[in-house]
Structure 1
Amino acid sequence: MMKLFLFISLSFSNFIVAQNNAPQRTINDYRLAEDYYREGAFEKATQLFQKLYESNTFNTNYLGRLISCYQETSKFMMVEKLLVNNLKQNKNHAHFYVYLGYNYQKQLQLDKANENYALAINALEKNASYGGLIGQLFREYNLLDLAILAYEKTMLLNKNTNYNLQIAQIFGEKGDYQKMFEAYIDLVDKNEKYLNIVQRYSGKYISKDPENETNILFKKALLKKSASQPKAIWNVLLSWFFAQQKEYTKALIQEKALFSRGSNNLDAFFILGKIAFDNTSYSASKKCFNFIIEKSLNKNERIQAHFYLAKIAVDTKDPTTAVFFQSLFNIFGKSSATIQLQVAYADYLTFQKNKPNIARAILEEALSYATSKFEEARIKLKLGDVLVFTGEFNKALLYFSQIQIQLTDHVLAQEARFKAAQTSYFKGDFDWAKAQLKVLKGAATQLIANDAAALYLKILDNEPIDSIPSGLTEFAHAELLEFQNKNKEALTSLENLFTRKDIFPNGLIPSEVIYSDVLFLQAKLLLKQKKHEEAIAALSHIIRGDSQFFLADTIYFMIAETYYNDLKKTSKAQEYYQKIIFEYPGSIYVIDAREKYRSVRGDKL
């Protein structure tokens, strides 16, 4: 044991030296050797790794690479000689038997290979400390059953070790999903701290489709375990599982079961309610927040739950929404605690009821309740939106500018900068908008960065050159009208743009970049007006004119969803889902498209 400790200590010390104190020449040699190795220049890589290994024989990375280089150049005897010498000097280093066995396997000498693999496994009985390394090497060589055997034997010999996670992952690599899920669940059974890890790894195999094979296997394994060994943690895992399948009502049942066992924490209901809301599962979301209201004695929790109920009412266009908001202010009053509600109400009044002046008064009053610069910034952001809605651009820009000065580099300041750039774009001040958007392309939040990059490229691709009209000014105005919920006027503006002879002198020119953008906005507006066939025609026109349009996968998905959800033409929907699956495998829509495609086709996995 003392020798092993010395070996590990020396290995670690040499690793630190290699990483932190090694001469620059050694670092450069290693980088160059890795480059040669990746390029397949194994002879050159061999020379460098041989030199590196001789300078540090405890570095297993150097040794592994050197062995691989020898094998790639068919120098198997060199590998054998190197390993046999190492074993003579270090009889306890059982992992060398794995290297040696694989060297024989590469030469198709399977009896000798298996003999050495057995020596590695059997050596664990004398010293189980090498079990992790032996299991890892077997796994790297794709000897998965031997890797499982090494890990299991190590755990049997040393009760302080735990390789259940590695074993579960190997079952996944083997395609044995039933055993994989059983191993993951056993891991949680032994130690609940592994819950998040198990959710992360299991989540890679679970889809939104409840009929998916791996979903069924996970559910069976979990229900079997919960029946034999009842624990609250299984309700947590079941709730998570149902949420992955977007079966939020079933997830809620599990959370209620947990709550009935004495849990006073309502955080899980907030999380589930928000996820359901984000996925437009309003019924399940509403049940979550109503449960919080029923059970919570905390005023702030109750206000937050009511806030989401108000958002659900807005999104579902509930005719009693205005009355509901007023009832909440009657119950909770207007103060710092209800600022979020006041901002939401102002947004509703502006963008759904076309009452921006009342909304503005509400927001200006809300400023008097703000107790921090962050609350003040959130109110001013909405005030800016209301002012853009009414066409008071300079006043809106003033609010956005104030936020940027007060909260430099904060996410709210970045949001304000984007809104300022968007407002300038609406005004036709493209140069100033581009300057702001260029800064935001490196924004902290990916959503703002993506929106900024998209608008920046739209301006860059379409802005007028040498005072020659490009249509961007008119297009920006149409987008402003859409922002102001003036959809009919926006459509008219786009139709007028098509007839502009100074912009499209020969009629509709598909090669014009602005043309695709115009059609895309036109399709969105037509969909809002339930003119589904016309919207599909506009989207199809984009693809015919510009098949490389950067939103091509989005367009195909929009067409498929329109056929599927609105026109109920499933065969046509199937055609477009299929396009996404086979022509855009990297699309963010591919999972949804595959599941809808299978559903339309009537697949049962």
Structure 2
Amino acid sequence: MLLLGTSVFSQEDLLAKEYVKNGEFEKALIAYQELYNKSANNNNYFLELVKTHQQLEQLDQAEALIISQINRINYPALYVELGYNYQLKQNTEQATQNYTKAIESVATNPNYAYSVGKFFENRSLLDQAIATYLKATELKPSLNFNIQLARIYGEQGNVEKMFESYLQFINTNNSYVSTIKRAMSDFITEDADNENNAILRGILLKNIQQTPNLLWNELLSWLFIQQKDYKKAFAQEKAIFNRQPESLNRIEELAFIAMNDTDYEAAKTIFTYLAETAQNPDVQIGAHYNLLQIDLKTQTNITAIEATYLELFNTFGTSIQTLKLQIAYAHFLAFYKQDPKAGTQFLKQSLELPLSPLEEGQVKLALGDILVLQEKFNEALIYFTQIQRNLKNSTLAQEARFKVAQTSYYKGDFKWAESQLKVLKSSTSQLIANDALDLMLLITDNKFEDSTQAALKLYAKADLMAFQNKPLEAIKLLNTILENYKGQSIEDQALYKQAKLYENNKDFEKAITNYQRIIANFKEDILADDAYFSLAQIYEKHLNDPATAKSYYEQIIFNHQDSIYFVEARKRFRLLRGDNVN
């Protein structure tokens, strides 16, 4: 019977809410009156009944109802409702008197501030809500209304007081740091000169000077990361580590953030510090590994890079501990020094170490890549297949299956490649699944163009050259496709692939020309949004032309809402326009 009664109440409540939602206030009034009659102590039903009277401009009835409730129960927040009802009746004096009564009730019991303040907030009486919370805190300092105050100050546009309230809150509730960071991120941007950024930076610097606390350094580091000022963030992280030298994890994480954002100068500075400061050999080796990856992207001195590898092996040895470094060195020998034989021999020595099945699979994957580089496809397929067999259902096995498909594609066996890619479309790794889908679409869209599949074979050859680190040869072969197969479905793919190679070579003008050709001639095809996004990125990040970048982001926002770039394009567009974006 109790459950049945609860169910009936729930249905009646939902019906009343539906009436309000549809603007049927007469029906809502009857529904809430019945609910209130059955459950007079239910504050929600009472308040909804009052609001419904107000919607129907039955202000005298609402007033009588509130006064009756005040006489019946001791609940000071009701004076807010009574005052608001007087405000609706244009009786400002009576409204003010009741608001004052509600605030003054906090003097008898500061805990009343929770309900009184909330009632003021619900009626958008923000100044009165602030007065309530401040009065309660003054009378009982152990109460913490900073989160409520911060929210109100934010609504009022008083950003400085909002930041101060948030910081005061987490100063005594540091388990909420992540939550407060998310809240504050709505008010700052990547622009270090943004007014709100400057306000938060100033407050944090002042706090560091006046009340030293590593929390302020942590938040200042977080602010600098939002602004992509990674070196300034690093200065704060070092200050934290110097006072609490338990772990370098935060500094290591910052190094990866900088590297992933292609700020190689800052990343190199941070990884160098890790290599010199860490006591743990794994952290040292990892830092050196990443420094070498940066060098490969930013330097052309192959001899110096090889000397660094050999020096590291001399220091740390060629054990399981340096396996990742060994795999990277073999890749360097094959793809950068153009000595695949040396790379293969080095990895075969690594295979003699007491490796786990996963570690063995990682070495064999690298060996397979070097064999593909040499166009020894069948031998590469043996290694990739072994990984699949020995590490079933692992991410590495899925990566090996993709390598099987990719290798088959390189050698022109499109049917087998396609069968492998169909399986990988549902890979647990989103990256592998996306790569598999892209390659499968390339094959299916172009395999029936002609019986010999000549254009697709040429494209696969150019793709292989790009994999072999031969960009100029790949660009030249793609030109052959563009000259001989104009108007065929492979043309936009060739233009896009060539544009990416131009980008990698910093030849942005040629890349722009290719992307514009895709937009002009293949506006309805699947690469149009890719071209718009790539153009926007070039103009924003390399040519310092935000206005043009914004126009290309805008094309995705208005014409390609289903694009995988839509969310990022909208974010970049708003940032370039000067909006505050989370």
Q: How would you bin the TM-score normalised by the shorter chain?
A: 0.7 to 0.9
User: Cα–Cα, structure 1 residues 131 and 582, in superposed 2: closer, same or farther, change >3 Å?
Assistant: farther
Match of 1:292 in 2: 274
Does residue 185 of structure 2 align to residue 198 of structure 1?
no
Q: Secondary structure at the match of 1:161?
A: coil
* 1:475 to 1:137, Cα distance in 2 relative to 1, 3 A: farther
**Structure 1 residue 80 displacement after superposition:** 4.7
Structure 2: distance between partners of 1:393 and 1:355: 17
Q: Secondary structure at the match of 1:230?
A: coil
Q: Which moved more, 1:54-63 or 1:350-359?
A: 54-63
1:13 maps to: none
Alpha-carbon offset, residue 216 of structure 1 = 0.9
Match of 1:266 in 2: 248
Alpha-carbon offset, residue 70 of structure 1: 5.6
2:133 is aligned, of 151, 154, 160, to 151
Q: CA deviation at 1:376?
A: 3.7
Map 1:87-486 to 2 at 5 A.
Answer: 87-92=70-75, 94-105=76-87, 110-261=92-243, 263-319=245-301, 320-369=304-353, 371-393=355-377, 396=380, 399-400=383-384, 403=387, 410-416=394-400, 418-420=402-404, 422-423=406-407, 426=410, 427-429=413-415, 431-440=418-427, 443=428, 447-448=431-432, 450-452=434-436, 454-455=438-439, 464=448, 475-486=459-470
Following TM superposition, by how much is the alpha carbon of 1:371 offset from its aligned partner in structure 2, in angstroms? 4.6
Question: Following the alignment from structure 2 to structure 1, what is the Cα–Cα distance between the partners of residues 451 and 31?
Answer: 61
| Cα offsets for 1:511-561 (capped at 9, x unmatched) | x5x543332222112233444332211111122234466665653454355
The residue number in structure 2 matching 1:508 is 487
Amino acid at match of 2:424: L
One-letter amino acid of the counterpart of residue 280, structure 1 = T
- Relative distance call for 1:23 and 1:466 in structure 2 (3 A) is farther
**2:561 matches 1:579:** no
Determine the C-alpha separation between the residues in 2 that align with 1:583 and 1:295.
48
Superposition RMSD in Å = 4.1
Q: 1:60-115, CA deviations, whole angstroms, 9 ceiling, x for partnerless residues?
A: 666666665665555656655554444343322x3344445445555655555444
Distance in 2 (alpha carbons) for counterparts of 1:272 and 1:190: 26
- Show the counterpart of 1:559: 535
Q: Percent identity?
A: 36
Please give the alpha-carbon distance, in whole angstroms, between the structure 1 residues aligned to 2:442 and 2:52.
50
Q: Does residue 538 in structure 1 map to residue 514 in structure 2?
A: yes
Q: Deviations over 1:456-487 (max 9, x none)?
A: 65566666499797966654554343223333
* CA distance 1:132–1:533, shift in 2 (3 Å): same
CA distances 1:10-38 after superposition (whole Å, capped 9, x unpaired): xxxxxxx99xx986676666667666665
| Pair 125,523 (structure 1): closer, same or farther in 2 beyond 3 Å | same
Residue in structure 2 matched with residue 7 of structure 1 by the alignment: none
CA distance in 2 between partners of 1:72 and 1:474 (Å): 72
- Contact 1:307/1:341 (<8 A) preserved: yes
Alignment partner of 1:588: what SS?
A: helix
For 1:34 and 1:262, locate their aligned partners in 2 and report how far apart those are by CA, in whole Å: 54
Quickly say closer, same or farther: Cα 1:153–1:492, change in 2 above 3 A: same
Question: Could you give the per-residue CA deviations for residues 366-398 of structure 1, whole angstroms, max 9, x where no partner exists?
Answer: 344465444344434434443444445565555
Whole-Å separation in 2 of the counterparts to 1:404 and 1:54: 70
Q: Which residue of 1 is the match for residue 561 of structure 2?
A: none
Q: Distance between the aligned counterparts of 1:418 and 1:22, measured in 2?
A: 59
Kindly tell me: are residues 391 and 45 of structure 1, through their superposed partners in 2, closer, same or farther at Cα, counting changes over 3 Å?
farther
- Alpha carbons of 1:323 and 1:151: their partners in 2 closer, same or farther (altered >3 Å)? same
Q: Equivalent residue for 1:526?
A: 502
Query: Which range moved further: 354-363 or 278-287?
Result: 354-363
Contact 1:424 1:432 in 2 (8 A): no
Aligned mates of 2:105, 2:533 — CA distance in 1: 58
Correspondence for 1:14? none
In the alignment of these two chains, the number of paired residues is 564
Is the CA contact 2:278–2:284 (under 8 Å) kept in the aligned structure 1?
yes
CA distance in 2, matches of 1:99, 1:485: 73
Q: CA separation of 1:543/1:587 partners in 2, compared to 1, >3 Å: closer, same or farther?
A: farther
Residues 81, 577 of structure 1: alpha-carbon distance in 2 compared, 3 angstrom cutoff:
farther
Which piece of structure 1 moves more, 135-144 or 538-547?
Answer: 135-144
d(CA) in 1 for partners of 2:269 and 2:38? 66
Taking a change above 3 Å as real, the CA distance of residues 295 and 500 of structure 1, as seen in their structure-2 partners, is closer
Aligned partner of residue 297 in structure 1, secondary structure: coil
How far off is 1:207 after superposition? Answer: 2.3
1:279–1:39 distance in 2 versus 1, CA, 3 Å: farther
8 A Cα contact 2:463 2:474, kept in partner: yes
Residue aligning to 1:588:
568
Q: 1:261 to 1:491 in 2, by over 3 A?
A: closer
Structure 1 gaps, min length 5: 1-16, 502-506, 599-605
Give yes or no for contact 2:539–2:548 (8 Å, CA) kept in 1. Answer: no
For 1:258, what is the secondary structure of its paired residue?
helix
Distance 2:398 2:287 in 1: 28
CA gap of 1:249–1:464, structure 2 versus 1, over 3 A, is same
With over 3 angstroms needed to count, the CA separation of the structure-2 counterparts of 1:73 and 1:290, relative to structure 1, is same
Matched-pair contact (CA < 8 Å) for 1:289–1:306 = yes
Q: Deviations over 1:445-465 (max 9, x none)?
A: 554555455556556666649
Distance 1:406 1:285 in 2: 37
1:12 matched residue in structure 2? none
CA distance in 1, matches of 2:18, 2:432: 37
SS at match of 2:568: coil
Query: Does structure 1 retain, via aligned residues, the 8 Å contact 2:536–2:549?
Result: yes
Q: Distance in 1 between matches of 2:550 and 2:143?
A: 48
By how many angstroms is 1:331 displaced? 0.8
Q: Which moved more, 1:248-257 or 1:471-480?
A: 471-480
* Unmatched runs of 5 consecutive residues or more in structure 2: 558-565
Q: Matches of 2:445 and 2:21 in 1, distance apart?
A: 39
Given that 2:106 and 2:113 are in contact with CA atoms closer than 8 Å, whether structure 1 keeps it comes out as: yes
Q: 1:53-64 alignment to 2 at 5 Å?
A: none
Shift of 1:228: 2.0
Structure 2 CA distance for partners of 1:190 and 1:299, relative to 1, 3 Å: same
